[in-house]
Amino acid sequence: MTDLSGACGFDTRAVHAGQAFDPTTGAVIPPVHFSTTYAQDGIGGLREGYEYGRSGNPTRTALESQLAALEGGAHALSFASGLAAEDALLRAALKPGDEVLLGNDVYGGTYRLIARILGPWGVGVRVVDMSDLAAVEAALEERPARIVWVETPSNPLLRITDIRGLARLGRAAGALVVVDNTFASPALQHPLALGADVVVHSTTKYLGGHSDVVGGALVLNDDALYEQAKFMQFAVGAVSGPLDAWLTTRGIKTLALRMQRHSENAQAVAEFLAGHPKIVRVYYPGLPSHPGHELAASQMSGFGGIVSAALTDAASARRFAESTRLFQLAESLGGVESLMNYPDEMTHASVRGTELAVPEEVVRLSVGIESVADLIADLDEALDGV
Ligand X SMILES: *Cc1c(COP(=O)(O)O)cnc(C)c1O
Instruction: Give me the residues that bind ligand X (CB under 6 A), please.
Output: 81-83, 107, 109-110, 151, 155, 180, 182-183, 202, 204-205, 214, 216
From CA 46, how far away is CA 266, in angstroms rounded? 49
Q: With respect to ligand X, which residue has the nearer C-beta, 72 or 82?
A: 82
- Tell me the closest approach of the beta carbon of residue 257 to ligand X, in angstroms: 21
Q: Known catalytic residue: 129?
A: no
Q: Between residues 308 and 323, which has the closer beta carbon with respect to ligand X? A: 308
Q: Is 180 a catalytic residue?
A: yes
Q: 278 catalytic, yes or no? A: no
User: Closest distance between ligand X and the C-beta of residue 165, in Å?
Assistant: 21
Whose CB is nearest to ligand X? Answer: 82
State in angstroms the smallest separation of the CB of 334 from ligand X. Answer: 8
- 116 is annotated as an active-site residue: no
- Burial class for 237, CB neighbours closer than 10 Å (0-12, 13-18, 19+): middle
Q: How far is the CB of 83 from ligand X (least distance, A)?
A: 4
Task: Give me the catalytic one of 107, 226, 284, 342.
Answer: 107
Whichever of 339 and 369 has its CB closer to ligand X, that residue is 339
Of 351 and 383, nearer to ligand X (C-beta) is: 351
Question: Which residue number, 65 or 202, has a Cβ lying nearer to ligand X?
Answer: 202
Distance of closest approach, residue 303 Cβ to ligand X, in angstroms: 16
Catalytic residue, from 87, 105, 162, 180: name it: 180
Annotated catalytic residue: which of 60, 91, 205, 230? 205
* Dihedral, CA of residue 104, residue 105, residue 106 and residue 112, to nearest 10: 70
CB of 228 to ligand X, least distance (A): 21
Q: Between residues 249 and 316, which has the closer beta carbon with respect to ligand X?
A: 249
- Cite the active site residues: 54, 107, 180, 205
